[in-house]
Amino acid sequence: MRFSKFLTASVFAVGLAGSAQAQDANALVTILTAPEPQTQLMAMVLTMNAIAAGAQAELLLCGPAGDIALKDAPATATDGQPPKGASPQGLMKTMMEQNDLKVQVCAIYLPGKGADASVLIDGVTAAAPDAMGAAIVAPGTTVMSF
């Protein structure tokens, strides 16, 4: 009888733990600084696939990669690339619209360009260093950096 109660309690506890784990999605922070369009697009492709696999993702764009978030982005951010004709900005916008991808530029990106947030596409903001730092070290977070 005691063993039965212990077994029932153990199964219940394991069920609760499994349920909590299933509800907490893995977190992914993609940090993109690379200027090359192919690397930028691959970062988007991997982030998109991580989202499809259940990750809760956010994207931080710094340096030359910040240009992807500009309303008047360079052709390297908007031109389609092989094999499917996708662009870094196009895939980023798709993830923002379809998956609520949070996209931020580094806190020093806009001041470095001598610009304000009005130059960014809708939905992109400047990152707060303290919040981004906390997101990077949060338990269960994977960081991809390109």
What are residue 44's phi and psi, to 5 degrees?
Answer: -65, -45
**What pLDDT is stored for residue 22 in this prediction?**
42
**What pLDDT is stored for residue 12 in this prediction?**
36
> How far apart, in whole angstroms, are the C-alpha atoms of residue 46 and residue 32?
12
> How far apart, in whole angstroms, are the C-alpha atoms of residue 8 and residue 90?
52
What are residue 50's phi and psi, to 5 degrees?
Answer: -65, -40
What residues contact residue 86 under an 8 Å CB cut-off, 6+ apart?
Answer: 41, 44, 45, 80
Cross-strand bridge partners of residue 103? 59, 124
Reported in sequence order, the residue ranges of the chain that DSSP labels E, i.e. its strands, are 27-32, 56-61, 102-105, 124-126, 141-145
**What pLDDT is stored for residue 20 in this prediction?**
40
Domain boundaries of the chain, sorted by first residue: 25-145
**What pLDDT is stored for residue 119 in this prediction?**
98
**What pLDDT is stored for residue 24 in this prediction?**
59
Out of 3.30.420.40, 3.40.50.11890, 3.40.50.300, 3.40.1260.10, select the CATH number for domain 25-145. 3.40.1260.10
**What pLDDT is stored for residue 97 in this prediction?**
98
**pLDDT averaged over 10-residue windows placed end to end, the chain, 146 residues:** 40 38 74 97 98 97 98 97 95 98 98 97 98 97 97
